[in-house]
A = this chain, B = another copy of it.
Amino acid sequence: MPNQLNDHIVKSYDDERSRLINEILRMGEMAAAQLESALDVVERRDDKAAERIIANDEAIDALEHEVSQDVMKLALRGPMARDLREILAALRIAADIERIGDYAANVAKRSTALNLAPPLPHTRGLTVLGQLAVRQVRDVLVAFRTNDAEAAQRVRDQDAEIDTVYTSLFRELLTYMMEDPRAITPSTHLLFMAKNIERIGDHATNIAENIWFLVHGDEALPPRDKRDETNTVS
């Protein structure tokens, strides 16, 4: 094969690869921004803004579709070893980001139900939890952009903090419901919103594990404790 043609093919793989990486980073930033907006909407009790967040989720879904197309194209070029791991990791990371977007939209959706009742003091706790999750998502995106498996591992370790805050919010909400039956319905929505955010942390962790896989292949990550302690709250 003449060198020029070879160069052209290699360049074109790199171009398509950059396109894929950028799509994922854009998708991830959109999901993080959606979650930030959703938290804001909960605090401001703004139904109109909530509707916009719910509508925006489609753009993330559309990007996931593009990622999946681009992975197909790159796979047809017969990549080996690290390149192959990268596109398979990309496919899984895009699926995790799509779920993060869904959960953010869900927080916005439930906020409209929350706004039918008087404000609860616990929305503040939800914001704190949500901000931790926003940071996790942004940190894991940086780890992905810089191929930094150690940074990814730190994101994974930080998930324990989200779980702790989630569990304490869960307990508080239960106590509150017992004190005032009128708080039961809105508190239940808050419980589910908190759970959505805790799940976002789990998806950031999945992404971190995929970054580890794409950098180190099958070398195992150190085990770690899980996590949502509310399973056994009595």
Contact mask for chain A residues 86-114; partner B; CB cutoff 8 A; 1 contact, 0 none: 00100110010000000000100110110
Number of interface residues of A (CB under 8 A): 38
Contact mask for chain A residues 65-82; partner B; CB cutoff 8 A; 1 contact, 0 none: 000110110011010100
Give 19 pairs: A residue, B residue, CB < 8 Å, sorted on A.
A68-B88, A71-B88, A72-B84, A72-B88, A75-B88, A76-B78, A76-B80, A76-B84, A91-B91, A95-B95, A109-B231, A112-B231, A113-B232, A174-B184, A174-B185, A177-B181, A177-B184, A178-B181, A181-B181
Further contacts, 14 of them, CB under 8 A, given A113-B232, A185-B234: A71-B88, A72-B88, A75-B75, A75-B84, A76-B78, A92-B95, A110-B231, A113-B233, A174-B184, A174-B185, A177-B184, A178-B181, A188-B191, A192-B230
